[in-house]
Amino acid sequence: MICVTVRLHGVLAELAGVASETVSLEDGATWVRAMAALIARHPILLPIMSEVTTTRAGRVVSDGECLRDGDRLDLATGSSRA
């Protein structure tokens, strides 16, 4: 198992009611699996997920990219990016 921290910015944090979540995932899990876990906790986010950009260490994460234990993902929509 791996643990990944997902930080929500702007409207995402407002809708979810939290600024950060830690999700436990199976080894070899991808960004897609992390987003599924996040949406399972906060289904209100589903309608705007197509507008979300996810970064890890300042780089955009691709759908099939494997995550590692301790990764931190930052999620933002176009309206909440700095």
Q: What is the pLDDT of residue 37?
A: 95
Could you list the pLDDT tens digit for every one of the 82 residues in the chain?
999 999 999 999 999 999 999 999 999 999 999 999 999 999 999 999 999 999 999 999 988 899 999 999 999 997 554 4
d(CA 12, CA 9): 6
Answer whether 47's CB lies under 8 Å from 39's CB.
Answer: no
Nearest-angstrom CA–CA distance, 32 and 62 = 9
DSSP line for 33-52: HHHHHHHHH-GGGGGGGGGE
* CA distance readout (Å), 6 to 18, 22: 10, 6
Q: Walk me through the domains of the chain, giving residue ranges and CATH numbers.
A: 2-80 (3.10.20.30)
Whether the Cβ atoms of residue 4 and residue 23 lie closer than 8 Å to each other: yes
